[in-house]
Amino acid sequence: MKILIIGATGTIGGSVAREFASRNEIISASRNGADIQVDISSVDSIRAMYEKVGLVDAVISATGGAYFGPLPELTPENNEISIQNKLKGQINVVLLGLNHVNDRGSFTLTTGIMMDDPVVGGASGAMANGGITAFVKSAAIEMPRGIRINSVSPNLLVESVEKYSKFFPGFEPVSAYRVAQAFRKSVEGAQTGQNYTVY
Ligand SMILES: NC(=O)c1ccc[n+]([C@@H]2O[C@H](COP(=O)([O-])OP(=O)(O)OC[C@H]3O[C@@H](n4cnc5c(N)ncnc54)[C@H](OP(=O)(O)O)[C@@H]3O)[C@@H](O)[C@H]2O)c1
């Protein structure tokens, strides 16, 4: 398969890329240092990415920046970070990518545990995660040409503990390898409209 991985230089995206690399052709995308440069907060940038990429069998979004901070400090302006990136950015990757995915291909997006198991500072990210989950479930019944769509909701990753564990007290981290298996289920399996939790 030819697989476009947006966020392939990141913690989750890197693990997903390693998982698929031996059996597939990978095209990596991110703002810096990947095969293709893209900023998913920009519609023009997503369009330009697909023009360069052409047709693929699977699109994976392992990215989506979100604002993290206490609710009293959440403003309409910083909430936009989550909307423009994790929520609308990932949805626009699907909307603008429909004609770039082969018949019976797939999209896989990324959500996260904060929408089911809230943490202080996580409301904005949880909003985006919930929106993606609902979009995936609903869009799945209308996807053309047998194209499937799923999302993956990881717990805190073992590989990210140093960065984030103080915000996730008592969360038992999961390995990036386990998270990559959920992406594999989405891309190589037959299910659609699912949000795979890796908790
Ligand atoms: N790590 C965890 O424990 C964890 C747990 C649950 C959910 N998640 C979610 O999983 C996603 C990825 O997390 P991660 O920890 O793997 O992040 P990460 O290590 O920071 O990697 C993010 C990746 O996305 C790219 N990226 C960032 N903003 C982008 C944009 N606007 N357009 C295109 N590419 C962009 C980055 O490269 P550039 O900076 O070069 O663009 C990088 O490749 C996030 O949505 C996060 O909320 C993570």
For the Cβ of 90 lying below 6 angstroms from any atom of ligand 1, the answer is no
Say which residues have a Cβ less than 8 Å from residue 99's Cβ, sequence separation at least 6: none
For the Cβ of 86 lying below 6 angstroms from any atom of ligand 1, the answer is yes
pTM (2 d.p.)? 0.98
> What is the reported pLDDT for 113?
98
> What is the reported pLDDT for 92?
99
> What is the reported pLDDT for 154?
98
For the Cβ of 130 lying below 6 angstroms from any atom of ligand 1, the answer is no
The beta strand positions in the chain, using DSSP E, are: 2-6, 25-30, 36-37, 56-61, 101-110, 148-154, 195-198
> What is the reported pLDDT for 25?
98
- 3-state DSSP assignment of residue 110: strand
For the Cβ of 12 lying below 6 angstroms from any atom of ligand 1, the answer is yes
CA distance 1 to 16: 14
> What is the reported pLDDT for 104?
98
- Atom of ligand 1 at shortest range from CA of 12: 16
Mean pLDDT, the chain cut into blocks of 10 residues (199 residues total): 98 98 97 98 98 98 98 98 98 98 98 98 98 98 98 98 96 98 98 98
